[in-house]
Amino acid sequence: MVSSLKFFWWKLELSFPLELEESLVWKLNDIGIKAYAINCSLNSVENPTLFVWLPSFEWVEKDREEFVRSLVCLGTVFENKSLSVKWEKIVHEDWSTSWKKFWKPDPVGKNLLILPSWISLPQIYSNRIVLKLDPGSAFGTGSHPTTSLCLEALERNPPKGLMVADVGCGSGILGVASLQLGAQKVNAVDIDSLAVKATAENALLNNFSRDQLTVSQGSIDSLEKQLNGTKTDLLVCNILAPVIRNLAPDFAYVTSNTSHLYLSGLLEHQVDDMTRFLSILDWELIASYSRENWSLIHLCRNSP
């Protein structure tokens, strides 16, 4: 047993380019680190900051150095952009709640507002559509460009009366937004059990029942079971390009000849290749939108 007098946290503070957020989150989850938070705002010109808390008795200096090297290497994908790293020794800090102080209300698009569930609605945002969110320490804030592109797409074409599916639902913010914008029903899936839990809890935070937002663990096969023979009108997928490419052939099992797709998580240089690949599967590009090197593509079925 580790003595409480000797135990402390190593707190890593890492400033990074916004387009690296998805990759950093993937890396942290891949190696099993859940004690982290990201300070990120759409209205800030500064780079977002990643905070990671590591227990001292598990992370010696050599391991910490190797961990930082693995994170810095991710920056090579984005033209060798540098990452600023700072370590701090924390004797008394509860990481499971301290990350909340870095998160603030975040306006998205013309009318949406991502509101942390523990913060009262500021008067300045009283006319916006509120998306209450408690992502948990394992999920992002919803401010990443791939997420904001999805939210803006939903706002641009409100899914009123539609059946919406969210593949890779994460915190559930896209499902909540769809319902707030008039969707009839949302079916959501994610391979991460923590994401399933977060999505279910965030639906309840926004006063939506399990019948309105149904979520289960898994992928397209789980979504097909949820739909039980019906088809979704709009499928939203905010995942990295290689995963989308693997899932795309199975979209036909859950969509109809009139369905639409919002696919985000694509880097700008991946759009043309992904569009060509999807055209082979009978999906036609309607429009694409980009921000901070990330893109969203809107497609519809190109078959009678």
For residue 94, the model assigns a pLDDT of: 60
Average pLDDT over residues 125-154: 81
**How, if at all, do strands 232-238 and 163-167 pair?**
parallel
CB of 6 within 8 A of CB of 64?
no
Phi, psi dihedrals of residue 84, rounded to the nearest 5°: -90, 125
Q: Which of 69-78, 149-158, 166-175 comes out lowest in average pLDDT?
A: 69-78
Q: At a CB cut-off of 8 Å and minimum separation 6, what does 101 contact?
A: none
Residue 3 scores a pLDDT above 60:
no
Domains, in order of start, for the chain: 9-102 (3.30.70.120), 145-301 (3.40.50.150)
DSSP string, 75-125: GGGGTT---EEEEEEESS--HHHHGGGG---EEETTTEEEEETTSPPPGGG
Residues near 257 by beta carbon (within 8 Å), at least 6 away in sequence: 301, 303, 304
pLDDT at 78 over 90: no
Residue 130 reports pLDDT greater than 80 = yes
The one-letter amino acid code at 166 reads: D
Does residue 6 surpass a pLDDT of 70?
A: no
* For range 118-129, the mean pLDDT: 94
Q: What is the chain's alpha carbon radius of gyration, rounded to the nearest angstrom?
A: 20
The answer on pLDDT for 262 being more than 70 is yes
Q: Whose CA is closest to 232, among 151, 162, 154?
A: 162
**Confidence band (pLDDT; 50, 70, 90) for 135?**
low
Nearest to 181 by CA among 199, 165, 160: 160
Q: What is the pLDDT of residue 187?
A: 98
pLDDT digit string (tens) for 173-218? 999 999 999 999 999 999 888 789 889 999 999 999 999 999 999 9
Q: How confident is the model at residue 303 (pLDDT cuts 50, 70, 90)?
A: low
| Residue 302: CB atoms within 10 Å | 13
pLDDT of residue 2: 42
* Least confidently predicted of 70-79, 171-180, 206-215, 238-247: 70-79
**In contact, 162 and 175? CB cutoff 8 Å:** no
